[in-house]
Structure 1
Amino acid sequence: MTKKIAVINDLSGFGRCSLTAAISVIAAMGVQPCPLPTAVLSAQTGYPSYYCDDYTEKMEYFRSEWKKMGQTFDGIYTGFVASEQQIDQIFHFVETFDTPDTFLLVDPVMGDDGHTYAMFTPELLRKMKKLAMTADIITPNLTELTLLTDASYHELVAISDAESMMKEIVKLAQSLCEAGPSKVIVTGIRFSDNDGTRKMGNLYVTKEVQTLVAFPYIGGSYSGTGDLFASCLSAGIARGYDVPATIKLAGTFLEAALTDSVREHIPANDGVNYEQYLAMLTAGLKKEI
């Protein structure tokens, strides 16, 4: 039987992010994505102008209709939310569809590079913390990790020694594992290794395990890379694959897409050229996992 993931995220016409990224990646990995849009946008919010149709009130119709259909899901994956009210809707959805066999992956989208996004409020942070603590897996970047743990982003990234910085990241991530999610994957960690090579890494942390999967830092900060990563991860987990190996596969896929995008001088708001590399995900699952 085909695995199914309910994907709760926005749909943006431009930006190669959110549901556009999730649907294509999850499907390429042999899992059925079932999208529940939180909003429909003409383009993602990084563009200087965009139209946004808020779907907060419509989210309940999806939940109630899917319940009438008797649907079940192997996973629930949440991404961008436009308001704290949408987090309330997600809690209702999870209460309806969560089972012992359903995982909840929360990408706690709130900010990046030490800055919060426009929709951020203290109340949204409070509710996002609560949602993250109910999840099985969360995928924060460094900014979101420090928000969830009430730590200082600027003090964390000011640690010049990579090994010391990683130890502090592990400490923060494990504090979250103690409170809620069994798995924390901290994404987009930029650092230099012992020979000065710049790298980008994703750090997998549980109470017992810490695994860093790193690749050469290609440069640029593109729309949708976090969505692509979390989508790969959710599909891999739905299929029962090893988490560190799935993280490595997602990183290899993103490295190819980023390299292509930098070479082609793609604007950051447009997202990465990932479409032609989707076949890597199918081949990678068969070969590496």
Structure 2
Amino acid sequence: MENSKNVLIINDMPGYGKVALAAMLPVLSNLGHSVYNLPTALVSNTLDYGKFTILDTTDYMVKAIEVWKQLGFQFDCITTGFLASAAQVGIIRDFIASQKKEGLLVMTDPIMADEGKLYNGVTEETVENMRRLIGVADVIVPNLTEAEFLTGLYEGQQSLTRDQVRRVIDALREFGPRSVVITSGQQAETGEHAVWGYDHRAGEYFCIPFQFIDVHFPGTGDMFSAVLVGELLGGTAFQGAVRRAMDVLETLIDLEKGEIEKNKGIRIEKFLDVLKQ
């Protein structure tokens, strides 16, 4: 791949299940990029099983970053996902600042909520810390619930009008990110499910409807983010990259919807050929 880049994924690592690092690594590697990782936590399994244990790796992150600085490691893209502690926000912000160079792409998925409510254990302090983190991102990919809690607008609503969406996007942009993608929304006017966003290069708001498939897999947001950033690094224009990520996820969900044990997520390695279609 001519546009192969060094990509650092900062996210949790599950022992069982295709979410976070386990979901993103195969996608970005298959798209031809050199992929590295900095785990924010070790998680026994996807949280959908109801029982799990989490090991906070904040101390490891500090030590690993110090070694990387001594060795002079550099990245073309840094993506962030689940954070296990408030301290990790400052650690990541400082590391991104130390990596700043022309062309560095920073993408943040502020993982903290879904379906109208915050995840268990997520507090207002967590929300405030995420506001600080998205401020150093070029692209953010919250779902609708996360976008609402970050901005304080329309909290709990599952559908928004076109004007309401623009208010949320503009409020998100005030925190600092240049481009915004809001996933898992529903248009109040039409009832259609859609991905909304703002493309800073084109200076355009956009709305891309999609066919909703009524099944739930953990990790689909991580795979969406991986395809999106992989396409952007490969030179695809922003809205084209969003559409490509949507198409890939729709295909993956459709292929896997008959799987009985959905809590482990989509078996991405089985369907990597979808990325070449």
**TM-score by shorter chain over 0.5:** yes
Q: Give distance in 2, aligned partners of 1:201 and 1:251.
A: 10
Q: Give distance in 2, aligned partners of 1:13 and 1:149.
A: 33
Shift of 1:102: 0.8
Q: Give distance in 2, aligned partners of 1:157 and 1:55.
A: 34
Task: Pick from 73, 76, 88 the counterpart of residue 75 of structure 2.
Answer: 73
Task: Pick from 85, 88, 93 the counterpart of residue 86 of structure 1.
Answer: 88
Query: What corresponds to 2:118 in structure 1?
Result: 116
Deviation string, structure 1 residues 73-111 (Cα, Å, up to 9, x no partner): 111100001121121221222122222321211100111
| 2:209 paired with 1:248 | no
Query: What corresponds to 2:197 in structure 1?
Result: 204
Q: Give distance in 1, aligned partners of 2:274 and 2:25.
A: 16
Equivalent residues of 2:93, 2:136 under 8 A apart: no
Q: Give distance in 2, aligned partners of 1:158 and 1:37.
A: 34
Q: What does residue range 191-270 of structure 1 map to in structure 2 within 5 Å? A: 191=187, 194=190, 199-206=192-199, 208-267=203-262, 269-270=263-264
Equivalent residues of 1:112, 1:143 under 8 A apart: yes
The AA in structure 2 aligned to 1:236 is E
Q: Give distance in 2, aligned partners of 1:45 and 1:179.
A: 29
Cα pair distance change 1:274/1:189, threshold 3 Å: farther
Query: What corresponds to 2:24 in structure 1?
Result: 22
Structure 2, unpaired ranges of 5+: none
Equivalent residues of 2:158, 2:185 under 8 A apart: no
Cα pair distance change 1:65/1:35, threshold 3 Å: same
Equivalent residues of 2:7, 2:33 under 8 A apart: yes
Q: Give distance in 2, aligned partners of 1:266 and 1:201.
A: 27
Moved more, 17-26 or 251-260: 251-260
Q: Give distance in 2, aligned partners of 1:97 and 1:106.
A: 15
Q: Secondary structure at the match of 1:186?
A: strand
Q: Give distance in 2, aligned partners of 1:45 and 1:266.
A: 14
Q: Secondary structure at the match of 2:130?
A: helix
Q: Give distance in 2, aligned partners of 1:215 and 1:180.
A: 28
Query: What corresponds to 2:177 in structure 1?
Result: 181
Shift of 1:192: 7.9
| 2:158 paired with 1:157 | yes
The AA in structure 1 aligned to 2:164 is E
TM-score (norm. length: structure 1)? 0.87
Query: What corresponds to 2:265 in structure 1?
Result: 271
Q: Give distance in 1, aligned partners of 2:36 and 2:53.
A: 24
Q: Secondary structure at the match of 1:57?
A: helix
Q: Give distance in 1, aligned partners of 2:142 and 2:159.
A: 19
Q: Give distance in 1, aligned partners of 2:47 and 2:252.
A: 21
Q: Give distance in 1, aligned partners of 2:186 and 2:158.
A: 9
Equivalent residues of 1:174, 1:206 under 8 A apart: no
Shift of 1:150: 1.0
Q: Give distance in 1, aligned partners of 2:29 and 2:189.
A: 35
Cα pair distance change 1:273/1:255, threshold 3 Å: farther
Q: Give distance in 2, aligned partners of 1:95 and 1:40.
A: 25
TM-score (norm. length: structure 2)? 0.91
% of aligned pairs identical? 28
Shift of 1:170: 2.1
Query: What corresponds to 1:287 in structure 2?
Result: none
Query: What corresponds to 1:133 in structure 2?
Result: 135
Q: Give distance in 2, aligned partners of 1:92 and 1:86.
A: 10
Aligned positions, number? 273
Q: What does residue range 160-171 of structure 1 map to in structure 2 within 5 Å? A: 165-171=161-167
Q: Secondary structure at the match of 2:224?
A: helix
Equivalent residues of 1:253, 1:277 under 8 A apart: no
Equivalent residues of 2:13, 2:20 under 8 A apart: yes
Deviation string, structure 1 residues 242-265 (Cα, Å, up to 9, x no partner): 111111111111111111222233
